[in-house]
Structure 1
């Protein structure tokens, strides 16, 4: 178990640091790919991976991007639930000293709060891991197509601008999200599974106040994305 348990990390909302304009460019690309399917034979001569690109672009429109919005909504709920639970726990801790014995009632409240947070973390992390696979597939096929970006712009118009920088930004963000969920899960698991007993020192080291502020930041970033994506 780490020396101090980290309840959260604002990096879980890193995907929503990608700009609205970049999301528009990605969605525009997916739409452009799907729009060319009636000319598949001709387009495939210019974009050798067009069939694979069409598959991931169709999936992007039907499920990948909608699932990114669902992830944002679920993240807001996750942050709200965590805030409610740990605000109550913070109230129970107020007035206690790290040198005192941990009251049984507070120990139970803390253990249950961490267990619930751990369960919710696993669910949201699993959801994101599936989403990450779909995003990575979309990114890979567009990287291949972008090798011919100049020719594509000449033949099919400005919607075929090179997405390399945007895709790199999205991929870096998904990597941060994935790593953050894993780290949070690892930290919470020791207490949630009963491997480590809750003590007053562990409780004080949780730094609940900082976590409460972080959950508000996470919620805001996810809500801002939801508003822009509507």
Structure 2
């Protein structure tokens, strides 16, 4: 009797499940991946991508190739709900998909509406697919005029520090390549408390020496 394992979302956990099934298939189990995007980013490479060290293709996993290799089905669709009683995933403009076992790994999408002005002026890191397109728009704007540029990164954890360093490096490099030498790039890191407060004091001190950004405690 066939069992249906449905992977909802192309996050890291579900990617690992596909990899394991590709290496060691389980007889009688049909695997289906439901995701909106045909490519999924590896978030650990995001700072390197923002810095310009990695290309878009290098940072992303091709889900079409991965599912074909793993012998799984791929459904590119937007899920709008889950019927736990009927054991089905409800899809927009597509038939519902039955599951015997369901794994949900859809990632996060921050709510910007509670923060005044955020929807018009903030570039959220997640989902990364939207960040990529808005980053390109930021780079175009940064190189369009010989004017000072100010960017703020909110969050003093490891991710915030990495992103602040990466954005500062990329913007200064892009502007130099565009021949803009007379103006400055200011990247401010805004944190509720000390940056990297969960890390050892020596590590925090070392990063403070490396950071070419302004730090604001809020």
TM over 0.5, shorter chain: no
Which TM class, normalised by the smaller chain length?
0.3 to 0.5
Larger RCO, structure (CA 8 Å, separation 6 or more): 1
User: When you count helix as a share of all residues, which structure comes out higher?
Assistant: 1
User: When you count strand as a share of all residues, which structure comes out higher?
Assistant: 2
Normalised by the length of structure 2, the TM-score is 0.33
